[in-house]
Structure 1
Amino acid sequence: MLVVIYIYLLDYSLFCGWQFSDGSLHALMVGDPQLEGHARTQREPYLPDNFSNGYNDYYVRFVVGSLFRRLRPNMVVVLGDILSSQWIGDDEFWWRVERYRWIFQEVISSGVLLVNVTGNHDIGYGGEMEEHMVKRFEEAFGPVNRNYPLAGHTFSNLNSLNLDSSLNEVLQGKSRAHLVSMTELEDPVILLTHLPMHKPPGCCSDSPHIQHNWRGHVEYQNFLSENETKFILENVCPYLIFTGHDHVGCDYLHALPVNSKRKDVFLENGRSVEGVSEHTVRSVMGEYSGNVGLFEIRKKSSGGYEYAFSNCSFVKLQYLSVLFITTLVWICIGLLISIFKLCLRCIKKQKQKIP
């Protein structure tokens, strides 16, 4: 039984695949890695130094690397919260960046487009965001606001964390300007951002909640505000939106506002869609089974495009730990039995030598 389980673990990516073999774009969507650091080591003094961090790094590297090698995507997107805290110092920040680069080494060395969306644990919410946080993020991971033309579409990476309210008006102005520029794009837009759009309560694991500090700036939010969401749906009119943040994952279809400039219907997963399809991608963390989203675009012979999205999960990190410990116990039992049998043989031989 253990052999069968290990065969699955080593080749689990065989159970995931693209729906369009002739797709013009295949992308891996990775949600919320949240690489931790020294604070975790201090919380777990009973474990060897950085054991948990290293264990988690190997886990995410295996998940991303396995899918990347077998599926050969031409785009990889990390949907924010690359790190677990925006308040760390520069030394620890760059240490975590090096670990991130090791985890995504195969992607980086291949030259495949890697888009890093920024999250609240990378640069803070609007009421926390400061210039140096954004600057070091961009030095390590690339621009927080940028368009990527690909496969007849524009993939737009948007820093949505300071749209509702911001401590820094200059940074907010840059995000706002990028958002407004997206309204003038001619190609179909695929929006990439960390914060999910506003939704009614009960549609996803979270309900709408925005918390402001005493200055009136946002210090926590699980969705964009209703007004910002409406602006995006009415004026940007993306075909699809990919977000992170909630860890659990959620698929939701937004109705197009009456004033929306886009009125067409498109195909996703073989179904006609009239609206904007949003996928909040489940986290790649071990607690959430190492999930990665698979997104595809295919150009139809009759004109236009069709899309597909699915999730590919590995196994919870806790279950792996139980499996490894169980395996180690059985190996130890086997060794003890072998040693015991060897000792019995030696004793038997010694008795035979005695006249």
Structure 2
Amino acid sequence: MKLLQKIAWIVTALGAVLNLYIYTYPSLDSTQCYWSHEYRDLTTLGAWEKAIVEIPYFGDLYKQYFLPDHAKNVDMQPRDIRIMAVGDPQLNGNWPNTSYMKRLDNFGNDYYLRHVYETMKKRLDPSFVAMMGDLVSSQWTADSEFFNRTRRIVSRSFPRPEEQCSAELNIISKHEDIDWWTYLQNFEDNLKNDVFKQREFYEFKDVYDWYNGTFIDPSTGSNTEPLFLNVTGNHDIGYGDTTYQHMARWKALFGKVNYWIEYDTDTDHPWRIVMLNSLALDGPMLEPELKTYTWQFLEALESTHYKGSTILLTHVPMYKRAGLCKDGPNFEYYTASGCHGCSPSRVGLLKSQNHLSQETSRRVLDIVFGEGAGGIILTGHDHYGCDNYYSFVDEEKGWVAEKNITSDKWIREVTVRSIMGDFDGTMGIMTGHFNQNQKKWEFDYTQCKFIVQHVWWAARIMALLAALLQSLTFLF
């Protein structure tokens, strides 16, 4: 009896410590796990409150959960740009021969991702969530399985109000194959009629909510739910083997692959977000028209001669020499001997790439940042994450990546570390702050790491086990 009580209290203590950690971990590294600028009025606090907020960890917890309303979120103009970046979640699926342990692992992984997302969303209250591609683990699934994984993404792993994903859920509930043939016909018509060359096809203005203002606070004009920005990844649509079926279902469930949104264009602080499908830039491709379309998008973007700052969101990082990141430059193409029963039409197509080619990278950087007031690039793909600066050397050498800034004209590129458990459940945090003295946007990026998924599992199991053992001590 006494032994059972001791075990129960030991398990209870361990469970309490683990659960305390998983729910408060950002406060242990508060500078990395918050925006680079925060606007809380601490001058109105009493002496003992000021003393508390100075204590590491406990002070941050106090600011998050107990700070008086009048001291929270003091409004500043222009408002900072706040993007929470999610790197490569790569949701796996279940098949008839999938073991029960793997099914349980997939189920738990969904809620592990949800825990990271909801913890950071509550803490940060972001204006934008950028999903950096590879939302699912393989593009080679039927529409039915793609629907299943999409439902898990929008309802379980990265949940959002039903109004935000009602269109997607309606498509999923019908469970009918996407009509990619109609998509193809519309695509060919647009290509033939030069619609893809027109900036109006891609351009949006001051979008904070895709849903007719449902999630806009009328008193402040700010969005009450983050705007989701979904980047295409190679596991979502493929590389050179991308098909119209891949593109049609992505568009139906996650939106356009190429567009830009301009903000505050009539002010002294204009800025924009550019969404770029980098999977269709190099090739060769099974459907070369997809490459034509993507380059026409870039040409339309170039025609704007934009003078503001730009946040470029894309999946494949720009070219850089080996040694700067975990992934060095690498291209692979389908061969007849290595195609493993795939269609002969794939032979010679782009099979995989770690970076964009050097020529493509230079062209993209010139178009997106050549005339503007700088900005930042957020990419995915390299699960370990990376951080570099592209400095413009001269017309001959173009943009060169290094760990430090080496010229007056430069762009920072951040590869967002994966949110998967093997990569510590990392969340990317990007802050854009307008420097009133220099009249320019300044961009900062940090990464907030959670912990490997096994600790999250242990915390959940310990809590259940503690409840069971404590119940037994009352019964016996």
Give TM-score, length-normalised by structure 2: 0.64
Partner of residue 275 from structure 2, selected from 149, 157, 160: 157
Give me the whole-angstrom Cα distance separating, in 1, the residues matched to 2:415 and 2:360.
Answer: 17
Q: Which stretches in structure 2 are left out of the alignment for 5+ residues?
A: 1-12, 39-75, 165-214, 216-223, 265-269, 336-346, 400-406
3-state SS in 1 of match to 2:139: coil
The offset of 1:104, in angstroms, is: 2.6
Please name the residue that 2:382 is paired with: 246
Coordinate RMSD, CA, aligned: 2.5
- Cα shift at 1:98: 0.9
Higher share of residues assigned strand: 1
Name which structure has the greater RCO, CA cutoff 8 Å, separation 6+: 2
- The one-letter amino acid of 1:11's match is T
Question: Structure 1, unaligned stretches of length 5 or more?
Answer: 264-271, 343-355
Deviations 1:69-113 (A, max 9, x none): 221111110000011100000111111111111133237475431
What is the aligned partner in structure 2 of residue 80 from structure 1? 133
SS at match of 1:137: helix
Q: Is the 8 A contact 1:234 1:256 kept in 2?
A: no
Q: Structure 1 stretch 60-69 or stretch 179-188: which is displaced more?
A: 179-188
SS in 2 for 1:11: helix
Judge conservation of contact 1:254–1:275 (CA < 8 Å) in 2: yes
Deviations 1:12-62 (A, max 9, x none): 3443211112452111011101111114x744x1428x3222211111112
Q: Does the 8 A contact of 1:250 with 1:281 survive in 2?
A: yes
Partner of 2:444: 308
Question: Equivalent residue for 1:320?
Answer: 456
2:110 to 54, 57, 64: 57
Q: Which amino acid aligns with 1:182?
A: L
Q: What fraction of aligned residue pairs are identical, expressed as a percent?
A: 33
| In structure 2, distance between residues paired with 1:258 and 1:334 | 70
Match of 1:96 in 2: 149
8 Å contact from structure 1 (residues 233, 256) kept in 2: no
- Secondary structure at the aligned position of 1:308 is classed as strand
Task: Specify which of 19, 23, 34 is matched with residue 10 of structure 1.
Answer: 23
| One-letter amino acid of the structure 1 residue matched with residue 113 of structure 2 | V
Matched letter for residue 126 of structure 2: P
Find the aligned partners of 2:430 and 2:263 in 1 and give their Cα distance: 13
**Once the 2 structures are TM-superposed, how far is the Cα of residue 259 of structure 1 from its aligned partner?**
3.2
1:159-186 deviations in whole A, cap 9, x for unaligned? 1102111221211111111122232341
Q: Report the residue type matching 2:419 in the other structure.
A: V
| Partner Cα separation in structure 2 for residue 195 and residue 42 of structure 1 | 33
Aligned in 2, Cα 1:111/1:333: closer, same or farther, shift over 3 Å?
closer
Pick one of 101, 122, 126 that aligns with 2:236.
122
Q: Distance in 2 between matches of 1:87 and 1:148?
A: 31
Amino acid aligned to 2:106: N
Query: Whole-Å Cα distance in 2 between the matches of residues 180 and 217 of structure 1?
Result: 24
Once residues 67 and 325 of structure 1 are traced to their aligned partners in structure 2, the CA distance between those partners, rounded to angstroms, is 22
> How far, CA to CA, are the matches of 2:348 and 2:394 in structure 1?
31
CA distance in structure 1 between the aligned counterparts of 2:408 and 2:461, rounded to whole angstroms: 47
AA aligned to 1:33 is P
Task: Please state if 1:27 is matched with 2:146.
Answer: no
Separation of aligned partners in 1, 2:322 and 2:387:
14
Of the three residues 359, 362, 384, the one matched with 1:230 is 362
Deviation of the 1:274 alpha carbon: 4.3
In structure 2, the residue matched to 1:268 is none
Measure, in 2, the Cα distance between the counterparts of 1:114 and 1:93.
Answer: 19
Q: Are the structure 2 counterparts of residues 150 and 289 from structure 1 closer, same or farther at C-alpha, using a change threshold of 3 Å?
A: farther
| Comparing 19-28 and 67-76, the one that deviates more | 19-28
| Bigger mean CA offset, 146-155 vs 220-229 | 146-155
- Report the CA distance shift for 1:66/1:327 in structure 2 as closer, same or farther (over 3 A): closer
- Tell whether 2:250 aligns with 1:137: yes
